[in-house]
Amino acid sequence: MGRNKGDRTKLSSAKTMTDSLRTTVPSSIVRQMKLNAGDQLEWQIESLNPGTVKVSILRSEKKPSD
């Protein structure tokens, strides 16, 4: 996957008084991975390469809209 303008995001505090951080998933990745609101991202460190992580997508189950 090549880097597009806007593929870099900045971490910010999720809440005060916690160690959690949050970021925005760039729209180019949302489109390419077909992400939807409600999908979950599972983060795993699988490599000894610094700065490399694996992200798995756990799809939300959407109810058909009739």
Tallying the residues shown for the chain, one arrives at: 66
* pLDDT digit string, tens, across residues 4-62: 666 788 889 988 788 898 888 989 889 998 999 989 888 877 777 777 777 888 887 76
- Taking only the tens place, the pLDDT of each residue in 25-40 is 989 889 998 999 989 8
Pairing of strands 12-13, 40-44: unpaired
